[in-house]
Each structure stands twice: as structure tokens, then as C-alpha cells.
Amino acid sequence: MISGHTRLIAHLGFPTESFKAPMIYNPWFAANGLDIKVMPIGVKPQAFADLLRSLFRTTNVIGALITMPHKVATTELVDRLSPTARIAGACNAVRVNEAGELEGDMFDGEGFVRGMRQRGQAAEGKRALVVGCGGVGCAISASLAAAGVASLTLYDTRRESSEALAARLQQHYPQLQLATGERDPQGHDIVVNATPLGMQQGDPLPLDVSRLAPGCFVGEVVMKSAVTPFLQAARERGCVTQQGVDMLFEMIPAYLEFFGLPAATAEALRETAEIRY
């Protein structure tokens, strides 16, 4: 039930039909006796700026989850951005701070890194390759840098995207070794597919899997299927793998912390979630 006591987290994007977060957050809130709901709100780009500011003039909105196509636009609409959001050039969470300012952060990459750690995979001192430098690839790159990787290779079909990301990372992490323009996984400890390849049947693999070293950590962002062809090929090479949906479950505890809500674990969220993979 939603009552006059219910506090809301707005889930902003368009279209809303594919939103999965409410089916994870809301059952967990209910199971823990919290009168909080994540509410999908469909908003087209031309109306987004007005809506975002208006939402935070209400008295029962805790914060906002931001998804496509608004993650980039949000960076220009908040008063403060975290370093991760600045590097990513995108924002997927907004709250009001004690000064009444809108603060934005980006947790896609945090979810990825937390998932790694849950599998006993440290990022510190490792060599990472990220293929795809759109919003999620930028976020993962920023979080890997924050987690202490020694080097980061960035690849995108649009060379300017990887080079711009490298420049932003260099400003915040001057000791980080950066390279662009290559997607050969050989010599890397961490390999990430941050492209949409794998969404459609017949998509090519994002890189040459025969060059993956057995034992390296391979992560995926595509959530359409639990084990994409890329992950299956990596497993056959003896790699440690992380599914796209794992990143989703791992980032939600970070969101809850950001909104000042009770802590959760990815395992607890999986137990109550109304989606299954």
C-alpha cells in the first residue's frame, strides 16, 4: 500500500516498461518493514529538467534514480557531482544535501567493482581493459581507477570517446597508466564488455576471446540473458566471469547508502526480488 506516510524514490526515464529496479527495491523494502516505494515515472527529454527540480520541492521524495535517456543531461542539472560522475559524464542518482543543493552520483561502476570483490577479485594493481566508452563504460572505468588499477586500456569504435575519457581520468588519477585504441585482451587481468554487443542474437563478440588468459576476470554489462555468448566463451577459456545483472544487484546497496537508508546486501536483495535470472 501507498499512504500519506510513504516516502518515494522516483525512478526517472523513458520508456519505463523495461525498468527492473522496482522489482528489486520494493520487495526488499516490504520485507524489512520500510514504508518506501520506488516509483517509475516516465518523462521525455524535453520535460526532464523541469520535472527533476520540481520533484525535490516535494516533502516525501527521498531521491531519484536516473536511467536512459537522462543520465548525461542530469550532470548539468545538479549543483554538485561526485568525481565518478564527472569522469563518467553521466549521473544515475540524485539527492538533496543539508544545504538544499542537488547532489549527483554514478553507481554503475561501483556495482561492477563491488561484484568483483564479492568474487574475491581485487582491482588494486591490476591491468584492465574496458571495451565501450559510453555511459556505463565510463562509469566502470572511473570506478576501476578509484579502486586502484595500475593501468587502463580504453576502446570505443568512436576513438574520440575513448580519448576524452582518458583525458578526464588523467586529471583525477595522474599516476594511472592509460592507453586507447586497442581491444586486445592479452596482458590484461580484468576485461569488461561495456558495449551493447550481446543484446541481439547474432551480434559479434566484442573482442577476440582466443586472446583471453585463463584466470583473468571478465565482466559483462548486457542483461538480456544471464550468460551472454561473450561470457560463455570466456568461461570456456577458464576465466572468472561476472554477469550483467550482478552489477545491478551490487549497485543497489550503494544507492541505499547514498539515500541514507538501511543497509542491504546483494544476497538479501536477491532473496526478495521479484525477478529471476
3-state secondary structure of 223: coil
Q: Which amino acid is at 68?
A: M
3-state secondary structure of 166: helix
Active-site annotation holder among 20, 71, 126, 224: 71
Locate 141 and state its grid cell.
572505468
Q: Roughly how many angstroms between the first and final C-alpha of the chain, as a whole number? A: 27
**Pair 191, 242: CB distance under 8 Å:** no
Say whether the peptide bond before residue 15 is cis (omega within 30 degrees of 0).
Answer: yes
71 is catalytic: yes
As a whole number of angstroms, the distance between CA 118 and CA 70 comes to: 30
Q: Which amino acid is at 81?
A: L
**Pair 108, 240: CB distance under 8 Å:** no
- Which residues are within 8 A (CB) of 129 and not within 5 positions of it... i.e. 6 or more apart? 152, 153, 155, 183, 184, 185, 188, 190, 191, 192, 207
Locate 204 and state its grid cell.
559479434
**Pair 78, 105: CB distance under 8 Å:** no
Active site residues: 71
